[in-house]
A and B are shown apart, each in its own frame.
Chain A
Amino acid sequence: MTQDTTPLLMMQNLQIEGLSEDRWTPIVKGVDVTLGKGEVLGLIGESGAGKSTIGLGAMGYVRDGCRFSGGTVHFDGIELTTADRETRRNLRSTRIAYVAQSAAASFNPAFKLIDQHTEFPVRRGLMSRKEARQDAISLYRQLQLPNPEEIGFRYPHQVSGGQLQRAMTAMAMACRPDLIIFDEPTTALDVTTQIEVLSAIREIVDQFGTSAIYITHDLAVVAQMADRITVLRHGSEVESADTASMLNAPQEDYTKSLWAVRSFTSAKKAAVSEGQTPVVSLKTITATYPGMGKPVLDDVSIDFHAGRTVAVVGESGSGKSTTARSLMGLLPPVSGGIELGGAPLAPDFRKRSKAELQSVQMIYQMADTALNPKQRIRDIIGRPMTYYRGLKGRQLTEEIRALLHSIELEPDQYINRLPSELSGGQKQRIGIARTLAAAPKLVICDEVTSALDQLVAEGILRLLDKLQRDHDLAYMFITHDISTVRAIADEVVVMQQGQIVEQGPKDQIFAPPFAPYTGLLLSSVPEMDPTWLDRVLCDREAKRA
């Protein structure tokens, strides 16, 4: 990597404040960042650490309701915090570019990809429209998009999420900027897609010698991408070092705790005894969405036993969540049966009895939409208790307090709060408490940790594991995160395109020889080793050859 002596970007003692409740509160509390030409810096931390704010600050931009309150941002000799609008605008379009987390939300759905791509170079007079199109196509080719000649003439909704993210990277490259800011570009993608996007981004950044700031909460990803890593927490820098030494010898306790997150593993449980009736079992169910010919679930059979966790894995669209919805009776299967303790269960939830509904409960992925924002914690948790178990008055309050205790939230402090007064992890705990309040037999956990930071997610996994032992619960654990499966599962079901491709005990599924699809899924999970991406790409190249 060639490094000039003068840094491209220098942020000194950067301070940014945000307006909340009519008061200016600091978001970024004096962070120093220096980025040389052609260097890639990884910014890492939990949500709320100020990563994105710093990333935007590097462009001399703050979000609505925020302001620079101190420090400087020097980009190639220009002071951005005090520069006038026009200067900053010119820089942003041509010399600094930004790749957002959700490409789907960042493209204008009404225009073709290539027209959005060529807008800036043409408007800035850098290229003619024809040249810009040629250039776009060559960038698409370099980013390994399928049919580079033709893909730009599609609308954003006509290409997949991974392709869109690459198209956005291509667009950021359109003016050959000196600096690109990647804000969690692969967080919303499946592991198998993520690997393609990562390799494409890395290659193109290398090729043009572009400097980059790579923002993510995934350590394993940043290890592949960055030359240097800065760890942030609560708007301050925790430590900063080059990637190899940061991974091998982190100095601060907080960094060590981040590194150690993936250490949690549930203790091994006794095997299911022969002839034990499963709590719930799916028997060869097939389901279709109305008006669609092809079944979204095809011949799916899974048994759920008390006190055990079945993890269902696969990429998005593989039918994981649909299986859960069929089981819940939200999408009644067209054939096959669902059994509850050996007795048949009505396919449609409206035809199930109260006791039947009570025994299967679901924890949702997004706690934000799963909790009614206008109900207090007391009501959210209390309602299932009143509804299913007829608890009232003092007894109800006692029970709510006991439950809050068991999910590690202080009852006095939380019982009268609204969901908006909780953090993401606390909301998910309340979501868990609501299902437990019903005293169920089977709990469906639909991607419960995927919207959370790793430290918080680990806390949730530990909690779920403890609750499972206390209440002898059966879990259906839906996830696309293999490390979560390794931590918590007893049995694993691998799904692809609505079918089960492999199922069995965890040790058997995760030990070689792998079934082809399982192998692909497993090898796509990023590892902390900085050479991981190279290795995987080499392996795959070798196999193809």
Chain B
Amino acid sequence: MNAFLYELRRAPLSAKFGCTVVLFYIAVAIFAPVLAPFGESEVVGYEYQAWSTENWLGTDSLGRDMATRMIYGARNTIGIALVTTIIAFAAGSAAGFFAAVMQGWVDQALSRAVDVVISIPTLIFALLLLTIFGASVTSLVGVIALIYATFVYRIARAVAMGIVVMDYVEAAQVRGEGLWWIMRKEILPNAAPPLVAEFGLRFCFVFLTISGLSFLGLGIQPPAADWGSMVRENASLITFGDLTPLIPAAAIGLLTVAVNFIVDWMLHKASGLKT
């Protein structure tokens, strides 16, 4: 932990900015009930009220407080995106390592199956699956995790391929170690840096996909607040010169930029460049 703080102190300004923003978002998500002035789906006044001291960002199309929904939206959108990304990474790396260790037909079968999924455009495939399985949070997480696991698989496999040929992996195999040990103890620690960097990047994509799906009405379902659907529900305000619908959009944008700053920094560290 101390080592991490030490690294952070020496990090470039962009990375510090990224960390600050991400920490702020996390704090907001965790303490949402304390921070929010109203309940998540509580109707507090008329529709489309302007910004005021009571309703900081006005109210939405149903008369709910925008500021409150922004705060709860952080919780839903980030929470679901995080869970989805974690599942995608767990499944994708496990399958990728497995393919790299086994090689031969196992590798072929897995890789070709993944190629098929990747060849279908992400959003269209997600829409298709969500139409089949229905738009619940579970199926949303499942479908997006499946799609993103395929991207993770390709990276995990490529990284692991370079590690499997190392003598220490051969030494472990000849020692008689099982598959699980080799994947967990020999490959994972060495494959971690690129995967961690990729995690940040993929987290943004997952986040954007969920927001996009919510905007289309297939993501997080009402009355739960999330930024994507908040943009959609209040989009018509733009025509009246009101900037409120851009605020959830800006929240999405800011988080994406912040996470990417951190990822750039980590990639730079992992690459071992000195300047």
Interface residues of A (CB under 8 A from B): 19, 64-65, 328-330, 349, 352, 354, 357, 362, 364, 366, 369-375, 383-384, 387-388, 434, 438
Contacts and interface: CB of A to CB of B under 8 A. Distances in A.
A372 B174 contact: no
28 contacts: A19-B274, A64-B274, A65-B274, A329-B174, A330-B170, A352-B176, A354-B176, A357-B175, A362-B171, A362-B174, A364-B171, A366-B167, A369-B167, A369-B168, A370-B167, A370-B168, A371-B168, A372-B168, A372-B185, A372-B186, A372-B190, A373-B190, A375-B189, A384-B175, A387-B175, A387-B176, A388-B175, A434-B171
B177 interface: yes
A372 B182 CA distance: 11
Interface residues of B, number: 15
B96 to A, nearest CB: 18
A329 B176 CA distance: 12
Interface in B156-201: 166-168, 170-171, 173-177, 185-186, 189-190
Nearest to A435: B171
Contacts of A372: 166, 168, 185-186, 189-190
Contacts of B166: 369-370, 372
Given A364-B167, A369-B166, A369-B167, A374 B189 contact: yes
A388 B172 CA distance: 12
A330 B274 contact: no
A357 B189 CA distance: 25
Give the 9 A-B residue pairs with the shortest CB-CB distance, closest first: A374-B189, A370-B167, A372-B168, A369-B167, A364-B167, A357-B176, A369-B166, A354-B176, A65-B274
A357 B166 CA distance: 19
A357 B171 CA distance: 11
Contacts of B173: 349
B171 to A, nearest CB: 6
B215 to A, nearest CB: 42
A373 B170 CA distance: 14
B171 A387 contact: no
A375 B185 contact: yes
A504 to B, nearest CB: 30
Contacts of A329: 174
Nearest to A356: B176
B168 A349 contact: no
A373 B177 CA distance: 18
A47 B225 CA distance: 63
Nearest to A370: B167
Contacts of A354: 176
Interface in B222-255: none
Contacts of A357: 174-176
A445 to B, nearest CB: 14
A354 B178 CA distance: 12
A56 B175 CA distance: 43
A375 B175 CA distance: 16
A24 B168 CA distance: 33
A354 B174 CA distance: 10
Contacts of B170: 330
A447 to B, nearest CB: 12
Given A357-B176, A372-B189, 12 more contacts: A65-B274, A328-B174, A330-B170, A330-B174, A357-B175, A369-B167, A371-B168, A372-B168, A372-B190, A375-B189, A387-B177, A434-B171
Contacts of A373: 190
A362 B177 CA distance: 15
